[in-house]
Chains A and B, each alone.
Chain A
């Protein structure tokens, strides 16, 4: 009964004549609704801010959005790229404007509602204090967000837009104007034989590469970690230090060293290992298959130390009770591995292992530094060992096929995003978010 009473009191309108809807409607001109709520200073500040924004940016935004549609009118004078980037900037500003506008409406409505329920409007000092408290996190996030938008979001958007234009070597600003071509680039990618074959070849190698290289990396790391974790093995610290070395040395240095060692004519692998043993030379850099084999070998060399370090940490943490209990039950080593060690390792490191897969999926460095995606393959723009990301690089900087590069980037992005989506659902931090 008592709770019912207090609820009644809470719902009783102290100021029934103060109408939230009116406040919201008045706020269509920002600041007026706040003035109606008798928060004059806040209203004035909002009004001035919005007015300043509109006056300063209206011109830029409207011409920017217009430019985004036309991409310039006068050939040789209008640079379509500038139109495109101004257009995207205008879109970003508009998005900001709209979200603040909606916040303004919500604010007016909320305050009015609270006044209706008998809330006293705070005086100026308290108002400032509240504004400082609620505004503080935005102040913190602001600079980082600003950088993020201009360095990451803006270029990504630019790339997305490029995929729908005809920007290539023969049609390049400022000489020519760009035009919107809709989904033509994607259509070409899947219908023109040359593009389609290349795309399928590169995509299948990318998937094989990601799966084989990463899985071998993890398998080797697991094998070695379990081996070294044996209590009878001594000099653990030394072993660990040497095993981590490939991770510690900058990768670009070791990859170039490897590409010298795998050199067909005077590399150490051919001269000192293959030739004395088999009396032949393997065309590591000339034959796509051997290049791929070499790449996977090198990636395993480069990538296993990180996983090894992780696994070693986990192994040391597994309680020996598990193994003692298994011994009592008469389990053999394989059973112990399958039922105790393996699940422990996987449970603790799964997110990081998945990250290894996504890292290799976009592992540009090794592909490019080892053989620049080569050897060249007749009739296609990608080399025999190119993965998607290095193919995009080649299309951009060697063939200047910006439109196709952007289109393939989008497909790559969709693949990554699908993958990311499943990552999200597993990510613990989102499940725990609600518990605060």
Chain B
């Protein structure tokens, strides 16, 4: 952008080439900065040793020994963690989308007493990270014996998902014309029929976004599981992997790298595949919601 301050007038073509070189150089540098850590992790996971010290980005004799360990070694809980995470992710995704859907429908289509306060409460509550109540959550789960159980974790995830997502979906419902449900009402459709047969199919895109977000959250979150879960056979992937490096950072790092690549790759692929919907969903939720 600084070419305007050049003293010597340059030919247009020369200026053009110079600018394009600058732009591509900057993009190239960004590529290196972005890709280097990721490729480094892949490279490290292929090192045969478990330590971080000798690990190189391009290993001299690469091997899949860490991947084998994760799947087949008797001391590895990796598959159990994968199963736990899938169980949590599927339950949360399904139940949260359901609760969010009906709550948003009520707030978008009905005028009832307490509605305005409800909306204010949602807006306020979505500003507070659930982490802030962790003191209480920890003591509380301890008193009701839901500590170290996946059910407790699922319940917290669902409850925490409601305010933020209900707002997003409510904003989307608001954009669907009300004439649709009014004409259905005249035709004699009941409340449930209007919801399930008319609005739900139209709201599929935003509900898919909500379901996806809630499905991915348990794969990425380690802090709530860390508060709730205690025994290794109940861990989710994120927590298990975190503990793996946390216990003896430098000594199991290559193993951790292998384990995290196995979750990072599928998530990144899904994400890149659906990026358009994710971005537009977020953007519309923020401006309309």
Binding site for B on A (CB under 8 A): 79, 81-82, 85, 99, 103, 132-134, 136-138, 140-141, 143-145, 147-148, 150-159, 162, 224, 227-228, 230, 232-233, 239, 241-254, 256-258, 260-261, 263, 266, 268, 301, 309-310, 313, 332-334, 348-349, 351-352, 355, 358, 362, 364-365, 368-369, 389, 392-393, 396-397, 402, 405-406, 409, 412-413, 416-417, 419-420, 423-424, 427-430, 433, 436
Contacts and interface: CB of A to CB of B under 8 A. Distances in A.
B271 A409 contact: no
A393 B264 contact: no
B102 A144 contact: yes
Interface residues of B, number: 100
B82 interface: no
Nearest to B54: A266
Residue among B30, B220, B223 with most chain A CB within 10 A: B30
A397 B139 CA distance: 11
A334 B4 CA distance: 9
A253 B34 contact: no
B106 A140 contact: yes
B205 to A, nearest CB: 16
A430 B128 CA distance: 19
B128 A140 contact: no
Contacts of B112: 134, 137-138
Contacts of B133: 152, 155-156, 158-159, 409
Interface residues of chain B: helix, strand, loop or mixed (majority):
helix
Interface of B: 1, 4, 16, 19-20, 23-24, 26-27, 30-31, 33-35, 37-38, 40-41, 44, 52-53, 57, 99-100, 102-103, 105-107, 109-116, 118-120, 123-125, 127-140, 143, 155-156, 158-160, 162-163, 166, 171, 174, 191, 219-223, 227, 238, 241-242, 245, 249-250, 253, 256-257, 260, 263-264, 267-268, 271-272, 275, 279-280, 282-283, 286-289
Q: Which of A138, A151, A157, A334 has the most CB of B within 10 A?
A: A151
A252 B139 contact: no
B279 A310 contact: yes
A253 B264 contact: yes
Nearest to A103: B113
Contacts of A254: 37-38
Contacts of A334: 1, 4
Nearest to B3: A333
Nearest to B166: A144
Given A151-B156, A364-B223, A224 B264 contact: no
A168 to B, nearest CB: 11
Given A140-B103, A242-B31, A261-B37, A406 B135 contact: yes
Given A151-B158, A266-B250, A232 B16 contact: yes
Given A144-B166, A148-B125, A396 B138 contact: yes
A153 B106 CA distance: 20
A413 B125 CA distance: 10
Given A138-B112, A151-B160, A427-B123, A250 B132 contact: no
